[in-house]
Amino acid sequence: MRRVRFQEDVDDDGESVELLPLLQWDVAAIVWLIQQKEERPWLRTLVHSTTSRRRTQDISLLIWFVFIAMTPEFGLPYFWICIGNLLAVVTLQYLAQSPRPIDLYRPLWQLQDRRCVDEDTRGFPCVDCHMAVVVLLPAILHTQSAVVQLLFVLIVLYIAACKLLLATRFISQVLGSWLMGFTGILIGNHGHVVVKSYKLSRGYNIAAIVALLVLAMLVLGMWIENNESSLMGIPKQDFIEVFTNILNSDAPNPVPTPGAPAHVHQIPAPDARWG
């Protein structure tokens, strides 16, 4: 397999820096996968039509549909294991700050539709790959239908394949995230056994759910304050304008005085950042 070189962004002299052997293999494998995608228009269309930098328009949304459907059947232990893993993997990704293929090998950017790539995420652990295992593996083991099992397995594999074909994850990062997801299930099950031994009342679960909702509202508030609402699948400017209109909806309309110039509200130009 050929050796891949990349240019470090911090290197003003443009010095070529050789990757470590594992990353050499990882980058070369990703380059080969991207070439296969570009040579097959149907595959490129499929991947780009089912992925998006907006969570509400991405194939990974299927994970949370399954989570909602399975929670009534599996109960609160399943709910807390999934939520705990989500909080843990998001925190670990933020702390690790691991680069993605497109961060190390910049020519890969030229082959990607940026509407499909979330620039705010990092490489490892992969939240979607981790949570696909945590959410879907119990459902795969629980159901007796071979068709449903095959469908869930295909969802896990397809989400991982999209990460590779968009050059947003290395193969090693996907495999590591799957392993972390399996480990997260084991830790969650052990934690459930430990907590169950304390025989806590139902009020503790209610208090924990309320605390979780408060945390979600705080995160939403920070997204609004930082103008980062695109993470929810809503364009940033539209999100801010909607909340501004809501806050100003109760304000009295000023009465124009005679001779005062009329105020003309200009329609903002459409956001054409992505064409």
Distance CA 213, CA 246 (A): 22
Q: Which two tokens stand for residue 11?
A: 């290197």
- Decide: helix, strand or coil at residue 16: strand
pLDDT at residue 123 in the model: 80
Distance CA 207, CA 217 (A): 15
In 97-126, alpha helices (H): 101-104
Q: Cβ distance 181 to 132 under 8 Å? A: yes
Distance in angstroms between the alpha carbons of the first and the last residue of the chain: 37
Question: What mean pLDDT value characterizes the chain?
Answer: 77
Q: What is the mean pLDDT of residues 48-58?
A: 84
Cα radius of gyration (the chain): 23
97, pLDDT greater than 90: no
Domain ranges of the chain: 15-199, 201-244
102, pLDDT greater than 70: yes
pTM above 0.85, yes or no: no
- Decide: helix, strand or coil at residue 91: helix
pLDDT at residue 152 in the model: 94
Q: If you ran DSSP here, which 8-state letter would residue 17 be given?
A: E
User: Which tens digits make up the pLDDT trace of 22-33?
Assistant: 777 888 888 899
Q: Tell me which residue of 119, 104, 125 sits closest to 28, measured CA to CA.
A: 104
Q: Cβ distance 33 to 164 under 8 Å? A: yes
